[in-house]
Structure 1
Amino acid sequence: MFNALEVLATVLVGLMVGVELSVAFVMNRIFRALPEDSGLLARAHGGRMLGALMPVWYFTSLALTAVWAFAGRYEPGAGPVVAAGALLVLSVIMSVLLLVPINNRGKTWTPENRPADWKDQANRWDRYHYARVAVITAAFTLLVTALV
């Protein structure tokens, strides 16, 4: 049962990292290359869709990692799991304080109501997102390290 927890937590965090890497390095580049207001509309739709899914994914990943850290506190590899959990906490804090406020504004933007600085806000979200991707990638790496 403990092995299943380790694998489930690692796979869930790994998939989350994959989605976030895709957003950072694939989807946002595609959105920027779209003509006229299509990129704005794509970002708004992505913000609504992923804005509903990702909180559940982040908190579930954090919860599974916390259970793993607690249940395996006397096992070899407990240190990397605790460190991964701390990084996942940091990623949630970053999300709530930095990314969610911009996303909440951006998911309502249309060509008719967008603010004059919408591109600056989108670029700021992208920069914060790159940092968050680095944090969750490090957490995933620590979880994989704990497995081996």
Structure 2
Amino acid sequence: MLNALEVFTTVLVGLMVGVEFSVSFVINPILDALPEDSGQLGRSHGGRMLGALMPVWYIGSLALVALWAVAGWGDPGTHLVVTAAALLILSVVMSVLLLVPINNRGKTWTPENRPEDWKEQMKRWDRFHYARVAVIIGAFTLLVTALA
């Protein structure tokens, strides 16, 4: 049963990393290259869609990693799982304090109501997001290592 939990948790966190990585390095660059207001509209839509999904994914992943750490306490590699949990906690704190406030503003923007500094706010979100992606890649790497 513990093996199934370990594999399921690692796959779930890996998928989350893949989605967040693609947002940073594929989707947002594509949106930013679109003409006129298309990119901003796409980011607003993405903020609404992923803004609803990602909190569940992040908290669910953290809960599964914590369960893995408790269920496997004393096993080799548990310290890696605990460290991965700490990194996922950091990613949630980063999200709540840094990314969510910008996302909550951005998801309501239209070409008619967006602030003049909307591009700077999106660049700030991108910088915070790059850091968060690095943190969750670290957590995923630790989980894969613990699994192996």
Shorter-chain TM-score range: over 0.9
User: What is the aligned partner in structure 2 of residue 31 from structure 1?
Assistant: 31
Could you tell me how far apart the structure 2 residues matched to 1:109 and 1:30 are?
Answer: 19
Aligned counterparts of 1:36 and 1:100: Cα–Cα separation in 2: 25
- Cα shift at 1:73: 1.0
* Structure 1 position 4 matched with structure 2 position 4: yes
Question: Where does residue 64 of structure 2 map in the other structure?
Answer: 64
- 1:64-83 deviation digits (Å, cap 9, x = unpaired): 00000111111111010000
CA distance in 1, matches of 2:43, 2:90: 24
- Report the AA paired with residue 137 of structure 2: T
- Residue 116 of structure 1 corresponds to 116
Matching of residue 81 in structure 1 with residue 81 in structure 2: yes
Query: Which residue is equivalent to 2:135?
Result: 135
CA distance in 2 between partners of 1:116 and 1:11 (Å): 41
Q: 1:119-147 CA distances to partner (integer Å, 9 max, x unpaired)? A: 00000000000000000000000000001
Shift of 1:92: 0.1
The total of aligned residue pairs comes to 148
TM-score by length of 1: 0.99
Q: Which runs of 5+ in 1 are unaligned?
A: none
Gap runs ≥5 in structure 2: none
State how far apart, in whole Å, the 2-side matches of 1:78 and 1:114 are. Answer: 47
Q: Does 1:21 align with 2:16?
A: no
For residue 22 of structure 1, report the CA deviation from its aligned partner. Answer: 0.3
Q: Deviations over 1:15-46 (max 9, x none)?
A: 00000000000000001000000000000000
The one-letter code matched in structure 2 to 1:10 is T
Deviations 1:47-88 (A, max 9, x none): 000000000000000000000011111111101000000000
Other-structure match for 1:97: 97
User: Aligned equivalents of 1:109 and 1:27: distance in 2?
Assistant: 18
TM-fit CA distance, 1:97: 0.2
Amino acid at match of 1:45: H
Q: What TM-score, normalized by structure 2, do the two folds share? A: 0.99
Q: Runs of 4 or more off by more than 4 Å in structure 1?
A: none
Write the distance in 2 (CA, Å) between the matches of 1:87 and 1:103: 21
Please state how far the C-alpha of 1:12 moved relative to its aligned partner: 0.4
Task: State the AA in 2 paired with 1:86.
Answer: A
